[in-house]
Amino acid sequence: MASGGRPTSKDVAQEAGVSQSTVSLVLGGKWEGRVSPATARCVRDAAARLGYRPNLAARNLRLGMTRTVLLMVPTLTAPFFGPVYTGAARVAARHGFGVVVSTWPDDAVRSADSPFAAPDEAIDGILASSVAVEALGEFRDTPAVMLDSGPADGAPCGPVPTVDFGVADGMAAIAAHLAALGHLRYGHVAAGVDQWTFRARADALAAAVSALPGGHLTRATCAIEVASARDAAGRLLDAPDPPTVLVCDDDLIAAGAYKAARARGLDIPADLSVTGFDDVLLATALEPELTTVRLPAEELGAQGMALLLDLLSGGSPEPRVLPGELVVRDSTAPPARRNRNRPT
Amino acid sequence: MASGGRPTSKDVAQEAGVSQSTVSLVLGGKWEGRVSPATARCVRDAAARLGYRPNLAARNLRLGMTRTVLLMVPTLTAPFFGPVYTGAARVAARHGFGVVVSTWPDDAVRSADSPFAAPDEAIDGILASSVAVEALGEFRDTPAVMLDSGPADGAPCGPVPTVDFGVADGMAAIAAHLAALGHLRYGHVAAGVDQWTFRARADALAAAVSALPGGHLTRATCAIEVASARDAAGRLLDAPDPPTVLVCDDDLIAAGAYKAARARGLDIPADLSVTGFDDVLLATALEPELTTVRLPAEELGAQGMALLLDLLSGGSPEPRVLPGELVVRDSTAPPARRNRNRPT
DNA sequence: CTGAAAGCGCTTACAG
DNA sequence: CTGAAAGCGCTTACAG
């Protein structure tokens, strides 16, 4: 082997007494019918002996691809996206792909200096999670899979494969659970973000409540942030004839709803029921623990990457929907009997 | 430009009417004294006109480096590590480096199939956050920077640059805040994880309490997880003559302490004060909002990457310490007057 | 069934 | 001050 550095395919060839081509064929898995089994085994042994690992830069250069995909997310600091990344990276690694992350629209990761300072790493494909289709922007021509962006939001240039959560079903499950408990007056603390996933939640809740005899729904909008959610929930709670349950678009919003309730002396769930969405860590850290819908975030990343890899190798993968799962905990109970709005 | 693909340095050379070498020199920033300013400007214009971006694979191959660094963390799903990644990736991107993430010891991201299936991406350096030095393992010879692992935990093979939080000072600030409030009986709900950062917290708290006339400290150990923390806090609270404050090693542990307190009818902060550590999102989602120490996680990643980049370019960076900041919120108050342990 | 050769796009001595 | 040429480690026609 060349003194010092890692072994190359040439070293393996020499060790095995064959040519570089043969090594490449064998280790690339394209040898059958072209190299004798004995030679193949011999090459593999030599590679193992030397601890050979192919040089990705060389292969990428030769193949004209980078084996790198871009994961585009709104933010990495929200608890939801860590698992998405993990799932995507796990599947990617299994196929020799790396994952780089970019945030959109607030792109803190890439920079805009000279080409050399920010070499806009060439990528083979894009996984865009929970972002509008415009996020693809300059990457319009790059193979992409949209995650959590809704089946309708296909890119202008033909259908883009999608993986979505069954958020409508999830919200319907929450509504059914609440209806079974006897709730009629619903407050929806909605994320004020124009994304498919939130529109779908709103529509599903509205549909369920209007199908409920005597059902009534009010709505307040907020940022996905505790203080803003607390204020929005407060507005709902301070209205005449307030809701007996606050259905929140996100676990973090539910945390804000808890605060609004407590500030008004309302016990959860005795005086007020609250539900979340996502089932992040926070859901069990709250008190009482939050009834919510679990969204399999890591699975979203994993399946999305699987679809993208399929797309990159010429397939035309079908859209998928990942069901959410209702997790009933301690924040929901039957509505109180008219003793609302008087501090205990 | 070659039909189809992105423009190459050869295309730029042709557009500018110079050779490939000149293009490389100019765009690589090594032209001064070797290329006339007029030519340099001409090259840059051509590059801009064509939208040229260098092919990283080719450059990496030529240079024998990958411009990729590995970020090693215990887990990506804990709320703390998202920001660490973001900070590291931001600085890396500014220098044309990518960041791949690996978890240790539970390595879900890399796989162990054939060399081709998991091509163990060659890397130039490692950023290891909150892991033991053994985590470096097979990468013993790779330039590395240790984050949040303590100044003493240098690798066997000479000193490794470090970036740490001032956790001892942070814990001392908590203790001083609590002492000023009048607390004498301290319960430490400690993370049962053998890491420098937690040892430092324990030592600092022990030192502060023992320096306090009449001060008394008990300790219970738990996993960094709500249920485990709740149980540990419960043990402390159920002891005879229980603490008036629970000092928790982590915000998540504090969430567990809240549960233990509430289960015993103890009001926070009237009956019991609680403090956390980290200041993640959860701290303000809890009720009452948590007094804690803010650890600048994103800054840790950013500074660590800056040190690693310095190291990679031949420097010998000095270790750094990032101070934590005491954030006083609503979970701490003077101790109650002997009315403890009777449910309200 | 196997090998010699070209070439991916860069950077860097080296020659002028 | 500028250019021609080599070579990084791969993969893939192509020739045998």
pLDDT digits (tens, 9 = 90+) for B137-149: 667 778 899 999 8
What is the reported pLDDT for B65?
Answer: 79
- Region of poorest pLDDT, from A17-21, A151-155, A180-184, B111-115: B111-115
- C1' (D16) to CA (A35) span, angstroms: 15
Q: How confident is the model at residue B42 (pLDDT cuts 50, 70, 90)?
A: confident
Which H or E run contains A89? helix A81-94
Å: A20 CA to C4 C1': 10
Residue A58 has pLDDT above 80, yes or no: yes
**Å between B21 CA and D5 C1'?**
11
Question: Residue B116's pLDDT is what?
Answer: 29
Distance B184 CA to C5 C1' (A): 82
Mutate to test the interface with B, among A77, A139, A278 (most CBs of B within 10 A): A77
- CB nearest to A57's CB, from B52, B66, B99: B66
Q: Report CA-CA distances (Å) from B7 to A139, A143, B46.
A: 16, 20, 11
Residue nearest to nucleotide D8 (CA to C1'): B62
Nearest CA-CA distance, residue A252 and chain B, Å: 7
Question: Which of the residue ranges B61-75, B167-181, B253-267 would you say has the lowest mean pLDDT?
Answer: B61-75
Q: How confident is the model at residue B124 (pLDDT cuts 50, 70, 90)?
A: confident
Residue A10 confidence (pLDDT) above 80: yes
With beta carbons under 8 A apart, name residues in chain A contacting B118. 93-94, 96
Nearest nucleotide over every DNA/RNA strand to the A13 CA, judged by C1': C3
Which H/E stretch holds residue A72?
Answer: strand A68-73
Tens-place pLDDT, residues A209-220 = 999 999 999 999
Give the Å distances, CA to CA, from A61 to A19, A100, A234, B220: 21, 18, 58, 56
CA distances from B135 to A11, B71, B112, B167, B200 (A): 30, 11, 17, 22, 20
**Which nucleotides on chain D have any atom < 7 A from a protein Cβ?**
1-13
Buried b (16+ CB within 10 A) or exposed e, A157-174: eeebbbbbbbbbbbbbbb
Q: pLDDT digit string (tens) for A238-257?
A: 999 999 999 999 999 999 99
Nearest CA in chain B to A262: B287
Name the nt closest to B8 by C-alpha to C1': C9
Question: What pLDDT band is residue A344 in, cutting at 50, 70 and 90?
Answer: very low
B262 to A131, B147, B256, B272: CA distances (angstroms): 40, 36, 10, 10
Mutate which of A120, A268, A309 to disrupt the B interface (most B C-beta within 10 Å)? A120
Residue B342: the pLDDT is 43
pLDDT (tens digit, 9 = 90+) per residue, A257-305?
999 999 999 999 999 999 999 999 899 999 999 999 999 999 999 999 9
Higher pLDDT, A170 or A99: A170
* B63 against A279, higher pLDDT: A279
Distance from CA of B107 to the nearest CA of A (A): 9
Average pLDDT, chain A: 85
Residue A80 confidence (pLDDT): 81
Q: Which residues pair with B245 in a beta bridge?
A: B186, B273
> What pLDDT is attached to residue B73?
84
Contact A85, A302 (CB under 8 A): no
**Closest amino acid to nucleotide C5 (CA–C1'):** A21
Closest nucleotide to B28, Cα to C1': C11
Alpha-carbon gap, residue B107 to B111, rounded angstroms: 8
So what's the pLDDT on residue A338? Answer: 55
| Distance of C1' in C13 from CA in A54, Å | 27
Judge if the beta carbon of B61 is closer than 7 A to nucleic acid strand C: yes
List C-alpha distances in Å: B147 to A6, A243, B101, B281, B308.
28, 49, 14, 21, 11
Mean pLDDT of B209-221: 97
For B178, the token pair is 């609590």
Residue B111, pLDDT > 80, answer: no
Q: Do B95 and A117 touch (CB under 8 A)?
A: yes
Percent of chain A with pLDDT over 90: 49
Residues with CB under 7 A from strand D: A 2, 5, 8-10, 20-21, 23-25, 27-28, 30, 52, 54-55, 58-59, 61-63; B 17-22, 33-36, 38-39, 58, 61-62, 64
Q: Which chain B residues contact residue A117 at CB under 8 A?
A: 94-96
Q: Which of A196-210, B7-21, B75-89, B112-126 has the lowest mean pLDDT?
A: B112-126
Query: Checking DSSP bridges between strand B68-73 and strand A320-323, what pairing results, if any?
Result: unpaired
pLDDT of residue B254: 98
Verify if strand C has an atom below 7 Å from the CB of A18.
Answer: yes
Q: How confident is the model at residue A158 (pLDDT cuts 50, 70, 90)?
A: low
At residue B108, the pLDDT reads 42
For A291, which DSSP code?
B
Write the single-letter amino acid at B116: F
Q: Sketch out chain B's domains with CATH numbers.
A: 9-54 (1.10.260.40), 68-164+298-322 (3.40.50.2300), 167-295 (3.40.50.2300)
In this model, does residue A38 exceed pLDDT 90? no
**Distance, CA of B124 to chain centre:** 20
Closest by CA to B282, choosing from B226, B217, B339, B207, is B226
Could you tell me how many residues make up chain A? 344
Q: What is the mean pLDDT of chain B?
A: 85
Say how many CB pairs under 8 Å bridge A and B. Answer: 169
What band does A81 get if pLDDT is binned at 50, 70 and 90? Answer: confident
Choose the closest CB to A28 out of B47, B96, B116: B116
Give residue B54's pLDDT.
Answer: 82
Lowest model confidence (mean pLDDT) among B47-51, B90-94, B143-147, B310-314: B90-94
- The whole-angstrom separation of Cα B115 and Cα B113 is 6
Cross-chain CB nearest to A77 (options B82, B94, B100): B82
Q: Which residue is nearest to nucleotide C9 (CA to C1')?
A: B58
Pick from B85, B228, B231, B267 the residue to mutate for testing the A interface (most A CBs within 10 Å).
B85
Answer whether B287 sits within 8 Å of A27, measured CB to CB.
no
User: What would the two tokens of residue B218 be?
Assistant: 């008990």
pLDDT computed for residue B340 by the predictor: 43
Question: Higher confidence at residue B224 or residue A114?
Answer: B224
> Residue B205: which of B162, B167, B236 has the closest Cα?
B167
**Residue A46 scores a pLDDT above 50:** yes
The pLDDT tens digits of the residues spanning A311-339 come to 888 888 999 999 999 999 999 999 987 54
State the average pLDDT over residues A83-89: 85
